[in-house]
Structure 1
Amino acid sequence: MAKTTYKRRTPEEIKAQVDAYGEQIVRAAREYTATPEDLHSLLDFMAQFPTYSVRNQVLIKSQSPGAQGVASFRRFQDLGASVQKGEHALKIFAPQTSKTIRGEDGKWIPYSKATVEQKAKAKSGALQHRERVVGYRMVNVFDVTQTDLSPDEYPKLYPNRPINFVADEQRSQILYDAWLTIQSPGAFLFLCMTAT
């Protein structure tokens, strides 16, 4: 079997992909907040992904409306599951971080350029160090339904899954009216684009 080779993408191709997913978020956010029922459905979906940003929750829903729990290919392997052959990944944003160490002279040094001694001092706490988000990149995740696990095995992967948000039609309308009262028309779109 021939080994697959991958062509490294140019910065322009990466930017185009990020822009396309940004536009997808805006379209989806408008769609998901158009009616009380749509908003209720979105909130119910979002309750399944409490550790993800609003932006990523909307991206996941727009790519896989029935998603139940996502993780990277490697994370599923670590959990003893395999992604089924032929499944296509969902794309979400992941933070890119930069580690720095404050040298003896007070200047911040990129971790990759620090000496072994400086790294050891940072690890022991003798030198100040920090990690901060410097940008975002697109990463692949898969839904649990794309793995070889059976539905009765899902709870072992997500033991702290929140209880489903349950509301009747009247409560959905009240929630939607409250949403409109508190928020300006574009607030949800703004939240989707700026949330980390």
Structure 2
Amino acid sequence: MTQATTKKQDRKEAAKEKKKQIRQQYKQTAERIETDPDFAASFVDFAARFPTYSEKNQKLIFMQNDEATICAGFNKWKEEGRAVRKGEKGIKIFAPTKKKSRDENGEVIKNEKGEDEEEAGFIMVTVFDIAQTDPVEEETTN
């Protein structure tokens, strides 16, 4: 086994563990929202800031940064002329994705039209609150 393969496996294991921790924290947050009226009221106020996010992602953001106001991924902030500050800890949420369906041999499954079949799923992605970014200075040329 090569060192690159080992590093890749280590990253996969770390990501799997992080996902497990996030899910456990999410469960605790969801339970607290259901049982603590004051906490639930705080969440409702918070969630109103993120109307385009799913309730699950609203809860995920809330539990990781209850002061967040506008969230986006690293590249989106870059497109918006902002840079994520070095050392900032991202907020983990789930984003929809599609992947090719495969049979037990790992071969891509084709539909009746001969096109690759896809299955929907979710992957964990990292977003940052606007408070974790700074405007990028425009370079002036003379």
Under TM normalisation by the shorter chain, which class is it? 0.7 to 0.9
1:83-94 maps to which residues of 2 (within 5 A)?
83-94=84-95
Contact 2:32/2:40 (8 A) holds in 1? no
Corresponding residue for residue 141 of structure 1: 127
Counterparts of 1:46-125 in structure 2, within 5 Å, are 46-98=47-99, 106-110=112-116
- Amino acid of the residue matched to residue 78 of structure 1? E
Query: In structure 2, do the counterparts of structure 1 residues 81 and 95 end up closer, same or farther at CA, with 3 Å as the change threshold?
Result: same
Closer/same/farther in 2, CA of residues 9 and 61 from structure 1, 3 Å limit: farther
Task: Please say if 1:8 is aligned against 2:14.
Answer: no
SS in 1 for 2:125: strand
* Alignment TM-score, normalising by the size of structure 1: 0.54
State the structure with more CA Rg.
Answer: 1
Tell me how far apart the structure 2 counterparts of residues 99 and 19 of structure 1 sit (CA, whole Å). Answer: 24
SS at match of 1:109: coil
Using the size of structure 2 for normalisation, the TM-score is 0.72
Specify whether residues 37 and 86 from structure 1 end up closer, same or farther in structure 2 by C-alpha distance, changes over 3 A only.
same
Give the aligned partner of residue 43 of structure 1: 44
Cα pair distance change 1:50/1:132, threshold 3 Å: farther
Cα deviation digits, residues 145-175 of structure 1 (max 9, x gap) = 00114xxxxxxxxxxxxxxxxxxxxxxxxxx
How far does the alpha carbon of each residue in 1:100-145 deviate from its partner, in whole angstroms, 9 at most, with x for none?
Answer: 8xx7x825532xxxxxxxxxxxxxxxxxxx8651x22211110000
User: How many residues are aligned here?
Assistant: 121
Identity percentage of aligned residues: 38
Instruction: Spell out structure 1 runs of 4+ moving beyond 6 A.
Output: none
Structure 1 runs not aligned, ≥5 long: 1-6, 111-129, 150-196
SS in 2 for 1:42: helix
Over 3 Å counting, the alpha-carbon distance change for 1:49 and 1:17 in structure 2 is: same
Query: CA 1:97–1:81 in 2, change beyond 3 Å: closer, same or farther?
Result: same
**Greater relative contact order (CA < 8 Å, ≥ 6 in sequence):** 1
Equivalent position amino acid for 2:58 in 1: Q
Higher strand share: 2
